[in-house]
Each structure stands twice: as structure tokens, then as C-alpha cells.
Amino acid sequence: MNIIVCVKRVPETAEADLVIDKTGRDVIKSGLVFDLNEWDSYAIEEAIRLKEKKEGHVTVISMGGEEANESLRKCLAMGADDAVRLTDPAFEGADGYATAKVLAESIGKLPFDLILTGTQAEDDGYGQVGGALAELLGIPHATVVNQIEVEGKKLKVHRELEGGLEEILEIDLPALLTIQTGINEPRYVSIMGIRKVAKKEIKVLGAKDLTLVANETGLSGSDTRIEKISFPPTTGAVKMIEGNPEEVALNVLNILKNKGGLA
Amino acid sequence: MKEILVLAEHRQGQWRDITFEMLSKARQLAESFGSEVHAVVLGKGVANSTDALRPMAHRVLLVEDERLEAFNSETYQTVLAQLITERKPLLTLIGHSTLGMDLAPNLAVQLKMPLATDCIGIDGKDGSFVLTRQIYGGKINSTVLFNKPGPYLVTLRAGTFPVLQRDSLQGDIIPLASPLTDGNLPKRFLAYVEAALGGVDITQADILVSVGRGIKGPENLPLVKEFAEAIGGTLSCSRPVVDKKWLPKGCQVGTSGKTVKPKIYLAVGISGAFQHIAGMKGAGTVIAINKDPKAPIFGVAHYGIVGDLFKIIPALKEKAKGLKQR
């Protein structure tokens, strides 16, 4: 089975102190730690597991500058066979739709039975690229998938719904699935593992290689644009408790007592 | 007249809350430019329950077909594509739910409609819309504009838009013919199943001590569990802890897990992704402990502590034990 996995390198922002840049449309990226998008790490792991079970070939694709090689190499170290990086100044500023168009152009030239993406990206959270890509390629799709079984030329998949419910679907190959976190346990990649694939070729493709017109990609090919960004308004309702751990602990236990938490 | 279409969402005979949230917002928008709200219901045997939507829509468009009984993006997309092509609504609203996520991106590509997903705010402006989205895990809001003319497709985040009490619109139910034809679908719905849960029932607890990614590893769970037990509380968690298999799915608070309403909710090392907040915002008192002063959890907490949970929880555990002995 030929499996293509689309991945993205994203900044880790959960504990970072974010600063809005001069354009007012993004945050300052220098100083942030980047890694493979969490959803994508589950997608690449799932692809490698399917390959290990049934044999096959895993190609990992990412749109981005040279720094995206870092994420592609991580995927290679995990067990992907090939890596492709899509890069061009014309791709910059792409929203979910414009990203899907570039991916579709590049994937359309490759043999594939299954395409996996993460359900969404940690940074912009569109949750859009997978579905749009499937539509552009004219193949069926399922999103938020947390279980896959291969049954010949079709798959039986579980989609995670709300409130602990799942739905079971049957889907014909070739197909695209967007993968939910928790579907597996992504394998650990050591520095040695990354070093082993350091010399592996990463194929680089630009707009010319993909026969895309400039106004189809990047910001000008996007449906939407970010006008400005801001910090969410603070509600101001929260009372902050300060002091050393003992003082904080006493305070918290008093709140528990007052609010009926402790008898 | 350019209407606003709202895709009513239902599952297993129940309306999803997002349906009413979208209808309420759509009415506000429609009033601002003298338009109408048209709810779209796709299903089978849902005509009676469709009455529930009439107060909130000028019209309820109903397409009944046995192939629409359970959601399948293939059939939904076919029906909606035809409706939108015929009626050319200014705006179509779909929930950013697991249903909308499976449907909206594909529908947008098919009809070449500009799409903005997971919006937490929407306002009309000069025949187009200004949208608010959250990026970087909810730490930044972005103001988004469309680059192209409509009709537009927007998905709205669940639990974000209030359902306002208004006078009834008493919209008529308009049955429409189903455009679906026989033929094999490349994707087939088989069944619903409950996810395997495991663990205790966290929805019954008066005190929940909930851990998130900040707990770092499963080896640190006993510390928090012992503290929870010392105050008569139950241990629960956010999604990453279940994804990493440190606690069973039954302990998970949030959209895809359990919705809880304890008297006290202690969020320990939980940043507060909206999916988590949706599951615990009904708690009586929320106390959050987090290293990051800008963590979204402080936006819903009543009390906040910025600090290292590995210093604060041991202190809490000691003091709580002392309380019990007295």
C-alpha cells in the first residue's frame, strides 16, 4: 500500500510568552521551539504501522521553507521511506484552501492508496486541509479518525464524535483520512535516529514543478486573510492567589471549605 | 433577498446545541441587513421534531430521505451543494463539530465558496463578513476577512454563541424533494458505538482534581491522586493525558469526553483548550494551577495560581492531610 502523509512544522506555544510582531498579523517566531504538529505525529505513526503490518511505502510531504526539513527528517527517522518538501515564495501566506491546492498538485503526480493528515494543526487550527485535499483529488475522506482496519480494497474506520460516541464507516480506497490524537502511541525518535537519516535526500518542488499559476497559491490564492491578531480579551473575573506554596495551599483549602468542597 | 442558511445538526434523534446557537447568531446577522434565516434539516422521520426550529427561523427547509438518516458527508454534501447552488444564500452556517469538520471543507471546494472554519465571532460588513478565530491554542485571536465574493461558508465553534430568548418567528416548514439518487457511495455509515471508557464515573463527583499535560508523566499521577483523595475528590484529566494512555478515557473532561458540573474543579497543569473548557465550564468553583499566566484556563477560572504544580500540590497534600487529622 502506498501511503502519503502530509505534515506541518509548528511552533510550540502552550507555555511560550507570545509577542505580536510589527505586521500585527502574526507572532514573533524567533525564540519559539518548533516541532512536528502533534496530530501529524499520530498520522505518520499510523502510516508506518500500516506499512509494517501489510508492507508498503510511506511518503511524507510538507509545505514550508528549509526549516521544514527538520520535521521531515523526524518522520524519516520514524520509518517513512521518502520525503518531499514543497517550497516557493508564491506559497507563502496560504490559508487552508491554498495549502490544499499545492498539496493536491504534488500528490496528483504520485501513486497512492491512502493519504493521511492530522485532523488539524496546532497553530492555525483550520481543520480544513484534509477535507479540501480529498475533494480536489476526487477521493472519499473521513475526518477525526481514531481507528483504522484495512479490509482489502476498503477500510473500516472509527470517527471520534462528541461525548464519547464514535461512528464506524466503511470507505473505499483510495481515500484520505484525517487522524485524531490518541489513535496510537507515536514512537520515540532518538538523536541517533535523526542522524541516521541526515543524508537522506529530501525532494524539493516549487510552483514551476507543480504547474500552478501564481495567483492560485499563497495569500493571493487564499479564500481568507488575517487582518490583524490580538490577545483574547481578559474576563477579569479570576482572582489570583499569590504567595509561597504553603500560603497558596492554605488559601486554596479555605476556598474549598467555603465553597462546600470540604466538610 | 439573500438569506442565511443554517444547517441544523442532529444525531440519534436529538438536536445538537450548536443548531440553536447558530440560529440565534444567524437571526442577529439577518436583522442587521434585512435578510432571513432559513434552517436546513436533512434526515428521515424528523418532520415532527422540526417544529422545535420554527421559532428561530423564517423558514425551515426539510429534505427527508432514508439515505440521510445518519450523517454521511457524501449525501449531505450532495444535498447542500444543490440547495446552495439554487438558492445562492449570502451565507451558510455549519457547526465546527465533528459533522461540520467532515463536510464543510469539501463542500467549499466543490462550490468554490470561500470558507472560514472554527469561528468564535462573526459580524456583517459591506456585504461580506468579519470573522474572529483563535490561533496558537487559544492564546491569540485573529480577525479574518474574506478575499473573494460570496456566497460564503462559515463554521462556528460550539458552545461559544449564546442562544438569545426572542419572540417566535414561526417559520413555515417547507418540504423539498431529495436530489439523492441510487448508486454506490464510496463511504458508508455502519454504526454508532460508545468509546471504551474505563475508570470511575467522574460526572458524579463533587470535587474533581483534573490533571493535564503539565503533569509531565504517569509517574507523577500518584501525587495528584493522593491529594485528590485527601480532600475527598476524584481524579480526572484533559485530553493529552488520555491520548498518552496515562489515564483511561472515562477520566477525560471535554467535548469528546465527559461534561462535568462538580462543586469544585481544580485544574492542575491544564492550559484550557476550548474542547476542555466546554466540558467543565458548568463547575461551581474553578481553581486553576498553571505555569503560564496567559493560559486560557485562567479565562474561566474563579481562582488562579501561577506556579509550579510540583511545589504547590505537595504543599496542598500536606495541609489537606493535616485538616483531616484534626
* pLDDT computed for residue A258 by the predictor: 87
Residues of chain B falling short of pLDDT 70: 1, 323-326
* pLDDT computed for residue B325 by the predictor: 46
Helix (H, G, I), strand (E, B) or coil at A174: coil
State whether B73 and A125 contact (CB < 8 Å). no
* pLDDT computed for residue B324 by the predictor: 57
State whether A261 and B207 contact (CB < 8 Å). yes
DSSP structure class, residue B292: -
CA B316 vs. chain centroid, Å, equals 34
Quote the CA–CA distance of B70 and A252 in Å, as a whole number: 47
* pLDDT computed for residue B200 by the predictor: 79
Q: How distant is the Cα of A246 from the closest Cα of chain B, in angstroms?
A: 6
Collect all residues of chain B within an 8 Å Cβ-Cβ radius of residue A134.
106
> Contact, B268 vs B210, CB < 8 A?
yes
For chain B, list the domains and their CATH numbers. Answer: 4-176 (3.40.50.620), 202-325 (3.40.50.1220)
Domain spans, chain A: 2-221
* pLDDT computed for residue A216 by the predictor: 85
Quote the CA–CA distance of B308 and A119 in Å, as a whole number: 31
For A106-158, the three-class secondary structure string (H helix, E strand, C coil) is HHCCCCCCEEEEECCCCCCCCCCHHHHHHHHHCCCEEEEEEEEEEECCEEEEE
> Contact, A126 vs B119, CB < 8 A?
no
Collect all residues of chain A within an 8 Å Cβ-Cβ radius of residue B101.
119, 127, 131, 143-144, 178
Q: Is B28 exposed, middle or buried (0-12, 13-18, 19+ CB in 10 A)?
A: middle
Quote the CA–CA distance of B303 and A105 in Å, as a whole number: 51
Residue B179: how many CB atoms within 10 A of its CB?
Answer: 14
Query: A229 to chain B: nearest residue by CA?
Result: B142
ipTM of the complex: 0.95
- What is the total residue count of chain A? 263
- What is the total residue count of chain B? 326
Pairing outcome for strands B187-194 and A165-172: antiparallel
Collect all residues of chain A within an 8 Å Cβ-Cβ radius of residue B191.
167-168
Query: Dihedral through CA B7, CA B8, CA B10, CA B15, nearest 10?
Result: 160
State whether A172 and B109 contact (CB < 8 Å). no
* pLDDT computed for residue B201 by the predictor: 87
DSSP letters spanning B101-166 = HHHHHHHHHHHT--EEEEEEEEEEETTEEEEEEEEGGGTEEEEEEESS-SSEEEEE-TT-S-----
Q: Cis peptide before B151, with omega less than 30 degrees from 0? A: yes
- C-alpha cell, B48: 415532527
Does residue A125 sit at the B interface (CB-CB below 8 Å)? Answer: yes
* Interface contacts (A, B; CB < 8 Å): 289
* pLDDT computed for residue A14 by the predictor: 86
DSSP structure class, residue B208: E
Collect all residues of chain B within an 8 Å Cβ-Cβ radius of residue A249.
312, 315-316, 318-320
Instruction: Write the residue in B110, B114, B190 that is nearest to A135 by C-beta.
Output: B110
Q: Domain spanning A2-221 has what CATH number?
A: 3.40.50.620
Residues of chain A falling short of pLDDT 50: none
Collect all residues of chain A within an 8 Å Cβ-Cβ radius of residue B104.
128, 131
DSSP letters spanning B271-283 = ---HHHHHHHTT-
Q: How distant is the Cα of B216 from the closest Cα of chain A, in angstroms?
A: 13
Q: How distant is the Cα of B38 from the closest Cα of chain A, in angstroms?
A: 24
> Contact, A255 vs B285, CB < 8 A?
yes
Q: Is B34 exposed, middle or buried (0-12, 13-18, 19+ CB in 10 A)?
A: exposed
Quote the CA–CA distance of B303 and B289 in Å, as a whole number: 9
DSSP letters spanning B173-201 = EEEE-----SS--SEEEEEEEEPP--S--
- C-alpha cell, B153: 461558508
Query: A120 to chain B: nearest residue by CA?
Result: B101
Collect all residues of chain A within an 8 Å Cβ-Cβ radius of residue B303.
238-241, 252, 255
* pLDDT computed for residue B48 by the predictor: 85
**Which site among B78, B109, B325 would you substitute to test the A interface, given the most A Cβ atoms closer than 10 Å to its Cβ?**
B109
State whether B299 and A255 contact (CB < 8 Å). no
